Structure 1
Amino acid sequence: MLKKVSLVLVLIVGLESCNTNLVFSEFKSMKDAKWDMSESVHFEFSGLDSIAVHNMFINVRNDNTFPFSNLFLITELEYPDGNTIKDTLEYRMAEPTGEWLGKGLGSIKENKLWFQEKIVFPDSGVYKVSVAHAMRRNGEVGGINILEGITDLGLEIEKSTQ
């Protein structure tokens, strides 16, 4: 009886956590929670509804070895026709008190960060997204070659509800 009740609870929680608007989700792991500045993380997707409006998110998982309270990313969205949108984005990763933002138990926190809002994918074919970090120490020109503390990077695309 206890097993049946537990199973029902797990199914209910699982169903409630499903996002029916999610159309793409993929994560890439960073080896030893280290991200080399020269290595972009790449995602590819196709076959999305060409009329629907979508929202895109970059998901970042970090651990306690991440030494900063913010994160700078250089993103590139390439359309099937070759047109490209490139942007530099800054995200806050921690409160001024040092408390990590994001969700998660233990030392890993996941942040769901806005990337593109209300975007339409009108062309058929493969869309490509690349993400690189652009972290630098204050007062230094050169970037940080190896960024520690980022364990995974993901891309999510959802149909917009508005």
Structure 2
Amino acid sequence: MKWITGIIALVLMATLTSCDESLVDSGTQTFPDMAWPGDDEAVFEITPPDTLNTYDINIRLRNNANYAYKNLWLITQMKFPQGKIVTDTLEYDMANAQGEFLGSGQDVVENKLGYRKEFRFRESGTYQLSLQQAMRKSGSATPLEQLEGVLDVGYTIEKEITDGSK
């Protein structure tokens, strides 16, 4: 009976690891209180696989039903190895007009938000990606102290696989 359990575990592990052949790198910061503090910047060190190929960089965010907004505002910053810094303020739709979340899942919603498409890491060395929520209540200039309902935030780097699909 133990060998059947072992075979099932082995098949499950092989299935899970082969599900996303395009995934090159990822990182996640978890928020234990299920809220993203306004002054908490998620910072990730990225060592690119090469300087020749292009990759898609996505932001991943998981939220629950306590997320009360239709959108998400983020301030992103990419620091290049030789000192260049690119800062963006980005807005993402998180729910449709009926208030239904756009990501996948029920109790926990997984969102894959496009950040850089066909990005080439032209400089060798370590890049730094920082993400900070920039949400405010409607009509207020004061940032939210806590963005409720956010479980974690992170990034993925994905490459094209040989048949041209992702």
TM-score, normalised to structure 1's length? Answer: 0.89
Distance (Å, rounded) in 1 between the aligned partners of 2:40 and 2:17: 36
**Contact 1:71 1:135 (C-alpha < 8 Å) held by counterparts:** yes
Give the corresponding residue for 1:94.
95
| Residue aligning to 2:69 | 68
Q: Which runs of 5+ in 2 are unaligned?
A: none
What root-mean-square deviation, in Å, do the aligned CA atoms of Structure 1 and Structure 2 show?
A: 2.1
Number of equivalenced pairs = 160
Match of 2:118, SS state, is strand
Q: Spell out, residue by residue over 1:67-114, the C-alpha distance to the aligned partner (whole angstroms, 9 max, x if none).
A: 10110000001100110111011111111111111112x411000010
Identical residues among aligned pairs (%) = 33
In structure 1, C-alpha distance between the alignment counterparts of 2:129 and 2:107, rounded to whole Å:
28
Distance in 1, Cα, partners of 2:149 & 2:126: 31
Output the TM-score relative to the length of structure 2: 0.87
Give the corresponding residue for 1:10. 12
- Bigger Cα displacement from structure 2, 59-68 vs 139-148: 139-148
Matched, 1:52 2:53: yes
Specify the code of the residue in structure 1 equivalent to 2:141: V
Task: Specify the SS of the correspondent of 1:31.
Answer: coil
The CA deviation at 1:15 is 5.5
Residues 1:12 and 1:46: Cα distance change in structure 2 (over 3 Å): closer
Which structure 1 segments of 5+ residues have no match? Answer: none
1:127 and 2:127 aligned:
yes
